[in-house]
Amino acid sequence: MTRPFRNGVILAVAAVIALTAGAWWAIRDTAPKQAEALFALSLPDTSGTPQSLGQWRGKVLVVNFWATWCEPCREEMPEFVRAQQELGPRGLQFVGIAVDQADKVGRFAQELHLNYPALIGGYDAMEVSQGLGNRLAALPFTIVVDRQGRVAETHLGPLKPNQLRAILSDLL
Amino acid sequence: MLCIALLAAGQGNPLPPDKAFRFSARMLDAQTIEARFAIADGYYLYRDKVHFAVEPASAGLSVPPLPEGKVKEDQFFGKVATYRGDVVVTLALKDTKPGQQVVIAAESQGCADIGLCYPPTVQRVTLALPEASIIQNTPSVGAKKPWFN
């Protein structure tokens, strides 16, 4: 085998491997992710009672990672309260996972008249969010799960009300 | 690969916290350290979330009052001071030995104007105290720390 020919073969093989890997990544990225890691979480609420996220299986579940020290998080939450009030009867369930201290979360939840559960999350919860696309472990991060337990949407940063309503209208 | 690098540099992609709030430190003399956060445009740090520590603790770090920062009214927390641009703090070590290595651990927490906040992050810089006027400066990103404080 001449050297140029051998080099050509090596390049061709490398190209095939790269294309296959690329295709695999593309498929992997577009395939709906299961929310099992979310459902497996059990986190304390503001009174310290453990709450399993599995209890909301079968609903359209919006899991919002937030904190009181995160102003953009706080700004989007009144819209979540409105959506929960309005669309809750149709099977929508918001759950907030606060990366924060329980007393601050409780105080803010009262001020906002939060009408959905506020759970307290730590590393486990943030690792789940990272596994579902929150690469920088930043806040706010929102995961929307359909009734079949598939991740329908993930969103880093505040959700605009019309974005939220568009996502939910497809699922409810 | 180049495309990925160019995409990553795009404005739509938020920076990781150690790039958004880049920490560095250098010895000014045998007992004085200049600590600096270089905050990227469009990002800000919370003043009351900036903390410094030295390892080993026996080196005795003295931290002066931090710069005032820009104060704004927060609906939930009241008056909150933030930093943008460069923040420089002059730290002092009380009990060191010539040639000793110390690690300055800088904790910070901040947000991006695009509407994102980062959990508290610890960045570390290793400094070699002067023995024969040799100063090393090796920054590294800190490990895990509690998600809230």
Structural domain boundaries of chain B?
15-141
The band of B130, judged by pLDDT with boundaries at 50, 70 and 90, is: confident
Does residue B28 belong to the interface with chain A, where contact is any CB pair within 8 Å?
no
Asked if A56 and A26 sit in the same domain, the reply is no
Report the alpha-carbon angle B74-A140-B39, nearest 5. 65
Does residue B135 belong to the interface with chain A, where contact is any CB pair within 8 Å?
no
Sequence letter at residue B141: V
Euclidean distance between CA atoms B135 and B88, whole angstroms: 19
Does residue B134 belong to the interface with chain A, where contact is any CB pair within 8 Å?
no
Q: What is the DSSP string of A86-140?
A: HHGGGTEEEEEEESS-HHHHHHHHHHHT--S-EEE--HHHHHHHHHTT-TT--BS
Domain extent, residue A49, equals 36-171
**B17 vs A contacts (CB less than 8 Å):** 136
Asked if A64 and A135 sit in the same domain, the reply is yes
Considering only CB atoms, B111 lies closest to which of A70, A101, A137, namely A70
Do B147 and A121 lie within an 8 Å CB cutoff?
A: yes
State which of A17-31, B90-104, B127-141 shows the largest mean pLDDT: B90-104
**pLDDT reported for residue B88:** 97
Euclidean distance between CA atoms B97 and B141, whole angstroms: 26
**A121 vs B contacts (CB less than 8 Å):** 147
Strands B116-117 and B110-112 come out as: antiparallel
Asked if A120 and A68 sit in the same domain, the reply is yes
**pLDDT reported for residue B74:** 87
The band of B141, judged by pLDDT with boundaries at 50, 70 and 90, is: low
The residue with greater pLDDT, B48 or B13, is: B48
Asked if A143 and A99 sit in the same domain, the reply is yes
The residue with greater pLDDT, B66 or B74, is: B66
Asked if A144 and A61 sit in the same domain, the reply is yes
Asked if residue B7 has pLDDT above 50, the reply is no
Asked if A11 and A59 sit in the same domain, the reply is no
Does residue B88 belong to the interface with chain A, where contact is any CB pair within 8 Å?
no
10-residue block means of pLDDT along chain A (172 residues)? Answer: 60 56 46 83 95 97 96 96 97 96 95 96 88 93 96 95 94 94
Question: Structurally, what CATH architecture does the domain formed by B15-141 represent?
Answer: Sandwich (2.60)
Asked if residue B144 has pLDDT above 70, the reply is no
Does residue B114 belong to the interface with chain A, where contact is any CB pair within 8 Å?
yes
Q: Which residues of B12-31 are buried (b: 16+ CB within 10 A; e: fewer)?
A: eebbebbebbbbebebeeeb
Asked if A15 and A85 sit in the same domain, the reply is no
Residue with tokens 């009030």: A85
Asked if A13 and A91 sit in the same domain, the reply is no
Considering only CB atoms, B147 lies closest to which of A123, A140, A157, namely A123
Do B148 and A100 lie within an 8 Å CB cutoff?
A: yes
Asked if residue B66 has pLDDT above 80, the reply is yes
Considering only CB atoms, B14 lies closest to which of A99, A101, A138, namely A138
- Nearest C-alpha of chain A: how many angstroms from B40? 16
Please choose, from the candidates A64, A84, A39, the residue with its C-alpha nearest in 3D space to the C-alpha of residue A154: A64
Euclidean distance between CA atoms A12 and B89, whole angstroms: 56
Residue A156 sits in a domain whose CATH number is 3.40.30.10
Count: domains in chain A: 2
Euclidean distance between CA atoms B28 and B38, whole angstroms: 18
Mutate to test the interface with B, among A71, A108, A112, A127 (most CBs of B within 10 A): A71
Asked if A73 and A6 sit in the same domain, the reply is no
Q: Give the pLDDT mean for B135-143.
A: 55
Considering only CB atoms, A157 lies closest to which of B17, B49, B115, namely B115
Structure tokens at A6: 């051998």
- Nearest C-alpha of chain B: how many angstroms from A56? 25
Least CA distance to B109: which residue of chain A? A69
Asked if A78 and A131 sit in the same domain, the reply is yes
Asked if A56 and A79 sit in the same domain, the reply is yes
